[in-house]
Structure formats: structure tokens, C-alpha cells
DNA sequence: CTTTACCTTCCCGTGACTGGAAGCCCTATA
DNA sequence: TATAGGGCTTCCAGTCACGGGAAGGTAAAG
């Protein structure tokens, strides 16, 4: 399998797949012409990575997850802990964004938004009330 | 005012203030010894920037906001539009995170998290069900 | 044989900083 | 007056996870 097919089947751009090889997440062998020759197992790994990334895991977390996935003697507790930590960090991000959102929504609501210059949004930014 | 005082009064790290000068957001004059000599107006701008950044505006949006702030003949509609677009992008981010969160929470809930290897989290990542 | 599509490596750019090195400047104390 | 410390300066490199694009080799189609 060449990189193009792997890209379309995994949903990852070819650039990303090459990058994942660079940082050692996959290690496809090479054909005599120098092309990467992906095995089914490489495709499988890449699809795993695509889904883990889609859940917001960082590359290093993905590396750990892959390691656990390939370790037959893993404890599911280790996976769960990793996922829970990630869940907590997502919750933090959501909370931060919602706090921003609340302030911003109040300001937007207070601004009449016409052609006059006075604007509570700028006022708030300037005065930090 | 030296950079240290401006840093503590604006809440921005000195490094960040130098960076903001690099990209032209502030242009403090220099003392004969080469030190930046911040005026009250510079401090004011930096505090404005700190608050705008805290609301999640990008640097380029901050640049626009500063421009509007200093333009006496601005239309508040321009400010409001900028803020509304930013609000929409925050909503997108929140939605994405909440979707991740939902999937992840389901998986975490389904994983017993003991010393056995079978784990629905890894299963989901592997099979993409 | 030519075109076209695909593959390769390499290097630069992104956003918004952060860390660290090397060196100048200013103040205070022994 | 020597020195120790802290603060200031510039510059370079690294972060994270890629994406864009150049220069060139290779394969499949007409």
C-alpha cells in the first residue's frame, strides 16, 4: 500500500502520516524504489491514531495509548486513568471557554452596534471594570 | 517606567511585552541606556491587550481592536461585529470539545479500570465503532 | 514518448509565546 | 572601591502538530 491509499483509508493527510513516521509512531518498510510500503497493521495503527487524535489526545498521549494497545498484559486501569486525565483537561478547557463566552456575550449584548463610536466592549477592555 | 514595573502592573510577562513590541503593538521609546521607557499610555495599551487576550481574541484581532479603540470616529457596529465573530468561534470550539467530552465520558464509564487487559476505550479506538 | 499523477526529501512558516545564554547597567553594601 | 545582586538588553532555539511548496525521481495511462 502506498501512502496515498493509506491516507484515504485512514483519513489522515499524507503529510501527517510522514510526520508520524518521523516521530516514530509508525515504521513502514520501504519498497526498492524508496516508496513506503504500508502493511495492514500500519494502516490499523494510523486509523487508531486518527481516532485518538479526534478525541483530543495529544501525540504523546497517543503514543502511550498505542503502547497500551499493543501490550497484551496491560491493565485497563492504566488506560482509564489516561482517559480520565484527558477528560479533566477537556473540562478545564470547556470551563475557560464558557467563562470567556459569558463575558463576551454580555458585552456584545450591551453594545448597540450602530455608527456611533461609544461602545461598552471597548470601554470594558480599556477600563477592566 | 521600566519593563519590570509595566509587567507587574499590566499582568503580562516581560517576555510577552517585548514580543508585543516586536510585532508592533506597542512602541515605547528608549532611555539613553537602551532600556525601554514606558509611558502611561503604553501601560494602558498593554492592559487593554491583556484583557482582550484573556477574552480569547487573537493577536491580530487585538490589533484591530486597538485600532478601533484609538479611532475616535469608529462605528460601534465594527467592534460588535468583531466580537460576534469571535463569540461564534468560541461556540464552535465549545461544541467540538463537548462532543469529544461526550464520547470520552461514555468510554471512560464503560471501562471497568482494573488490572485486567480488556478495555472498551482501546477497543473503540481500534475498531472505530 | 509524453503527459499526468504520485512519490521522495528538505526547508520554511504557523501562533503566541517561553527558556536560556551572553553580556551590559544600576544600586547597595562591605 | 570592589563586588555581588538584580534588572535590563539582544539573539537563538524550542514549543505543538502539522501544512505549503520546491526540486526531483517514479509509475501508470494514452
pLDDT of residue A129 exceeding 90, the answer is no
The reported pLDDT for the residue numbered B51 is 97
Of B80, B84, B119, Cβ closest to residue A79: B119
How confident is the model over A33-57, as pLDDT tens digits?
999 999 999 999 999 999 999 999 9
Nearest residue to B126 via CA among A58, A76, A46: A46
φ and ψ at residue A87, rounded to 5 degrees:
-60, -45
User: Average pLDDT in the B71-85 region?
Assistant: 97
Report the chain A residue with the minimal C-alpha distance to residue B49.
Answer: A125
DSSP 8-class letter at B72: T
Residues 57-76 of A with CB under 8 A from B: 65, 68-69, 71-76
Do B50 and B86 form a contact (C-beta atoms < 8 A)? no
Residues 40-59 of B with CB under 8 A from A: 44, 47-48, 51-52, 54-56
How confident is the model over A15-32, as pLDDT tens digits?
999 999 999 999 999 999
Nearest residue to B47 via CA among B29, B78, B80, B69: B69
For residue A16 the three cell numbers come to 501527517
| Residue percentage of chain A with pLDDT more than 90 | 98
The reported pLDDT for the residue numbered A128 is 72
Contacts of A93 (CB under 8 A, 6+ apart): B97
Give Cα B83 to chain centroid, integer Å.
14
Report the chain B residue with the minimal C-alpha distance to residue A119.
Answer: B76
DSSP string, B25-45: S----B-TTS-B---HHHHHH
**How many angstroms is C1' of C17 away from CA of B113?**
38
Contacts of A98 (CB under 8 A, 6+ apart): B94
Nearest residue to B78 via CA among A74, A118, A20: A118
Do A69 and A40 form a contact (C-beta atoms < 8 A)? no
Of B52, B80, B122, Cβ closest to residue A79: B122
Q: Is B9 on the interface with A (CB under 8 A)?
A: no
Amino acid at each position: 500500500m502506498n501512502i496515498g491509499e493509506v491516507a484515504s483509508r485512514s483519513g489522515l493527510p499524507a503529510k501527517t502520516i510522514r510526520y508520524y513516521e518521523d516521530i516514530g509512531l509508525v515504521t513502514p518498510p520501504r519498497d526498492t524504489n524508496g516508496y513506503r510500503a504500508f502493511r495492514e497493521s500500519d494502516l490499523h495503527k494510523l486509523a487508531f491514531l486518527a481516532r485518538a487524535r479526534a478525541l483530543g489526545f495529544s501525540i504523546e498521549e497517543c503514543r502511550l495509548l498505542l503502547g497500551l494497545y499493543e501490550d497484551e498484559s496491560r491493565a485497563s486501569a492504566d488506560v482509564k486513568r489516561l482517559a480520565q486525565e484527558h477528560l479533566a483537561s477537556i473540562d478545564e478547557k470547556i470551563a475557560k471557554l464558557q467563562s470567556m463566552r459569558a463575558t463576551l456575550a454580555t458585552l456584545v449584548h450591551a453594545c448597540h452596534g450602530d455608527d456611533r463610536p461609544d461602545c461598552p466592549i471597548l470601554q470594558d477592555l480599556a477600563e477592566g471594570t
